[in-house]
Amino acid sequence: MKRIYLLTLAISLAVTNLQAQNEGLKKLDFFIGEWELTTKASRPDGSVMMGKARTKAYYILDQTAIQDDFFALDPNDNIVFRGTSIRSYNRQSGKYQIVWVMPGVNGITDISGVMSNGKLVTTGKGYDGNGEFLERFEYYNIKPDSYSFKMDRSYDGGKTWLVNFSSFDAKKVK
């Protein structure tokens, strides 16, 4: 009898945890779909590089996570860079956990975020070809068919920041 009670309790807690996790993740439903991006990247010399990209975001792992595939494009729409992120919700911390990976590039970012005032506000740390970095970024102006993104990055432990290191405006296409 005690084993049945413990098994029932364990299953109940697992279902409750999964429901809470899924409810948290649903706040990121705005990502789901295909998007065209107008991008801006600040260079170390102060110049700004304009570009375009596309993304496709979809649920994975029985809808307990969202994968977002990113493709930077040249003027002829050839892919010149790619990356992917996996987003999940941690019920215990009340935060989103995000991992960003760039295939073929030495780099990864570990990110934590919260929804605040209609924005997804995040911080992260990682490394790339230029060394270890800290990031702070947000998704804002979130609407059913568009959103904006801006990121600052620091390669010196947060002493100085490259403001608007990367930004884009997204328009939904599907």
Query: pLDDT tens-digit profile of 119-143?
Result: 999 999 999 988 999 999 999 999 9
Record the tokens describing residue 27, joined without a space: 């706040």
Judged against a pLDDT cut of 80, whether residue 22 lies above it is answered with: no
Report residue 15's pLDDT band, with 50, 70 and 90 as the boundaries. very low
Report residue 13's pLDDT band, with 50, 70 and 90 as the boundaries. very low
User: What's the sign of the alpha-carbon dihedral 29, 61, 93, 11?
Assistant: positive
Domains and CATH numbers, the chain: 2-172 (2.40.128.20)
Report residue 6's pLDDT band, with 50, 70 and 90 as the boundaries. very low
Q: Give the per-residue pLDDT at 16.
A: 40
Q: Are strands 146-154 and 162-172 parallel, antiparallel or unpaired?
A: antiparallel
Residue 140 class from Cβ within 10 Å (0-12 exposed, 13-18 middle, 19+ buried)? Answer: middle
Close Cβ partners of 129 (under 8 Å, ≥ 6 residues apart): 105, 106, 107
